[in-house]
Amino acid sequence: MQTQPTASHFIGGEYVEDTAGKPIDVIYPATGEVIGRVHSATPAIVDRALEAARGAQAAWAAMTGTERGRILRRAADIMRERNHELSVLETYDTGKPYQETSVADATSGADALEYFGGMAATLTGEHIQLGEDWVYTRREPLGVCVGIGAWNYPTQIASWKGAPALACGNTMVFKPSETTPLCALKVAEILHEAGAPAGVYNVVQGLGDVGAALVSDARVDKVSLTGSVPTGRKVYAAAAAEMKHVTMELGGKSPMIVFDDADIENAVSGAILGNFYSSGQVCSNGTRVFVQKGIKEAFLARLSERLGQAVIGDPQDPATSFGPMVSARQMEIVQGYIAKGQDEGARLVCGGNRLQRDGFFLEPTVFADVTDGMTIAREEIFGPVMAVLDFEDEGDVMARANDTEFGLAAGVFTRDLARAHRVAAGFEAGTCYINTYNDAPVEAPFGGVKASGVGRENSKAAIEHYSQVKSVYVRMGDLEAPF
Ligand code: NAD
């Protein structure tokens, strides 16, 4: 692979290696072959990255927003120019089909760099007049931000965290998932090439212990995690011990409601996008598909037909539309859930098997007649497994849709406008969809409620999570005191 990064870490504007760190093999999910190796960060590497970020922060924050923004926008341009090679690398890192990575990963990272690059020059405080006296506010960076990523969108996550952090004048140390260590290094390389000074954006490798070391370090001011709820609880607690800012982008078990007046073809498209894109490894997936009884069989029949058209195979082939799971471990976890679905009495409509070929391929799987208490309706599976549940009416389905600890996303398919908006208002979720599913444009806030997270990524909302406001009181006349 020509595009492979040349060392494990990127610190202070250069690739850095320390082979004393525990080796982490990079496995191509489509074949199971080892295609690379990085080394987990040793304490010396963690220290070096944090020192680099700390050392670079004041000068980076002192640049004008226009200057910082120009660098981010230049990085966006480079990312788009290299979309093909970055997409090939993303496919090696994750196993996701090139058909997806070429339109959803570096492109989405570039969108974030461009959007926050454009916004950097517009970040201001405000003026508050108090008679003759006045207060002004300064929007200031937080300092050093740590980003910790999941394995499903390595380029996107590294960019979605880096772009707003850097736009606000922070520096970043990013730790990718140990399962997909390669792509974030390319983000660092590109930012550096675009003119980001050494130390502004650093990448270190490692498992949870490296993440934990970063989170608890006193030099860190903010932590943004994309990961599972159990990890989120640990990271949030560690950050709270030192009163650090956090953004938590965590898991979900999101509902998608299909009313009997919906356009069935669109609803099936939504269910496919919300369950099988990236082989189901998407946090906001609508994995509890509630279908109103009258159209249930028609919906299932059309869904099975459409799933038969999935092109499963070599993810580097642009014709492939469905790839492997990211790892053997993730595949086994999902197989466990499929077995549980069968044991607990759900009806397997299609899929359910591992493919007889190298790599970690599972068939797109649909269960029907799923009931609310079943494990596959309660726990996040994070694989290509859809649970279809029946419902009678709106009142019944809303209570059931919200009966979950999660609250990341939710969707509704109906032709009834008033009902669509009423249902969206009633959802306990951070991101809702009407007659669509899983869009995530940089212009719109993205994040969860309940156990699914804290804070928002993307949009103007992200600025609040990467900056803080200082109030400065100014008295124009004499100051009186009681004595
Ligand atoms: P994970 O929680 O196992 O790991 C996430 C990251 O946290 C990894 O980089 C890991 O090394 C690190 N980590 C683990 N323990 C840590 C600790 N104690 N301290 C600091 N860091 C630690 O998640 P995963 O399996 O990589 O990803 C899948 C999960 O991510 C799913 O639950 C999915 O829903 C969620 N996810 C959420 C979003 C979102 O935006 N809401 C996006 C993608 C994935």
Q: What is the DSSP string of 147-211?
A: EE--SSSHHHHHHHHHHHHHHTT-EEEEE--TTS-SHHHHHHHHHHHTTPPTTSEEE---SHHHH
Cα distance between residue 150 and residue 319, in whole Å: 26
- The residues with which 354 forms a beta bridge, in sequence order, are 362
Which residues make Cβ contacts (< 8 Å) with residue 198, sequence separation at least 6? 12, 13, 14, 52, 56, 192
| Ligand 1 close to Cβ of residue 249 (< 6 A) | yes
Query: How far, in whole angstroms, is CA 295 from its chain's centroid?
Result: 33
Q: Pick the catalytic residue from 114, 249, 380, 428.
A: 249
- The one catalytic residue in 100, 114, 363, 457 is 457
Q: Is 13 in the pocket of ligand 1 (CB under 6 A)?
A: no
User: Is 80 exceeded by the pLDDT of residue 2?
Assistant: no
Question: Span 41-50, mean pLDDT?
Answer: 98
pLDDT at residue number 470: 98
- Centre of ligand 1 from the C-alpha of residue 449, in Å: 17
263-304 confidence digits (pLDDT tens): 999 999 999 999 999 999 999 999 999 999 999 999 999 999
Can you give the pLDDT at residue 3?
A: 62
446 contact partners, CB below 8 Å, separation of at least 6: 249, 284, 430, 431, 440, 456, 457, 458, 459
For residue 249, give both structure tokens.
Answer: 């982008």
For residue range 377-403, what is the model confidence (pLDDT) as tens digits? 999 999 999 999 999 999 999 999 999
Q: Is the CB of residue 359 less than 8 Å from the CB of residue 327?
A: no
* Residue pair 228/283 in contact by the 8 Å Cβ criterion: no
Per-residue pLDDT of 356-376, as tens digits, reads 999 999 999 999 999 999 999
Q: 164 C-alpha vs ligand 1 centroid, how far in Å?
A: 20
* Cβ of 232 less than 6 Å from ligand 1: no
Structure tokens at 72: 């981010």
Please work out whether the CB of residue 148 comes within 6 Å of at least one atom of ligand 1: yes
Q: Report the SS3 class of residue 228.
A: coil
**Which positions ≥6 away from 56 have C-beta within 8 Å?**
12, 171, 197, 198, 199, 200
Q: What are phi and psi of 340, to 5 degrees?
A: -65, -40
Q: Is 18 exposed, middle or buried (0-12, 13-18, 19+ CB in 10 A)?
A: middle
Atom nearest to 452 CA in ligand 1: 41
Buried b (16+ CB within 10 A) or exposed e, 141-155: bbbbbbbbbbbbbbb
How does pLDDT run across 142-188, given as a tens digit for each residue?
999 999 999 999 999 999 999 999 999 999 999 999 999 999 999 99
Radius of gyration (C-alpha) of the chain in whole angstroms = 23
Q: Of 325, 307, 316, 413, nearest to 364 (Cα)?
A: 307
What confidence score (pLDDT) does residue 4 get? 76
Give the pLDDT of residue 370. Answer: 98
Long-range CB contacts (< 8 A, 24+ apart) of 307-311?
Answer: 307/272, 307/276, 307/350, 307/351, 307/364, 307/366, 310/276, 310/364
> What's the gap in Å between 208 CA and the centre of ligand 1?
9
Tell me if 438 CB under 6 Å of ligand 1. no
Instruction: For residue 362, give the DSSP letter.
Output: B
Distance, C-alpha 273 to centroid of its chain: 16
Q: Whose CA is nearest to atom 30 of ligand 1?
A: 227
pLDDT, averaged across the chain: 98
Tokens found for residue 376: 């596959």
With a 6 A CB cut-off, is 139 part of the ligand 1 pocket?
no
Q: What percent of the chain has pLDDT over 90?
A: 99
The yes-or-no verdict on residue 1 having pLDDT over 70 is no
CA 317, distance to chain mean position in Å, is 25
Which residues on neighbouring strands pair with residue 223, listed in sequence order?
A: 146, 246
Ligand 1 contact, 29 CB (< 6 A): no
> What would the pLDDT profile of 417-467 be if each residue is shown by its tens digit?
999 999 999 999 999 999 999 999 999 999 999 999 999 999 999 999 999
Q: Beta-strand (E) ranges in 51-167?
A: 127-130, 133-141, 144-148
CA of 13 to the centre of ligand 1 (A): 26
Determine whether 161 is an active site residue.
yes
Is 207 near ligand 1, meaning CB less than 6 Å away? yes
Separation of 251 CA from ligand 1 center, angstroms? Answer: 8
Q: Ligand 1, closest atom to CA 448?
A: 41
- Of the residues 90, 283, 296, 428, which is catalytic? 283
At 57 the three-state DSSP class reads helix
Q: Which of 94, 156, 177, 380 to mutate to test the pocket of ligand 1 (most atoms within 8 A of CB)?
A: 177
For the chain, give the percent of residues with pLDDT over 70. Answer: 99
96, 161, 186, 296: which one is catalytic?
A: 161
Ligand 1 atom nearest to CA at 230: 2
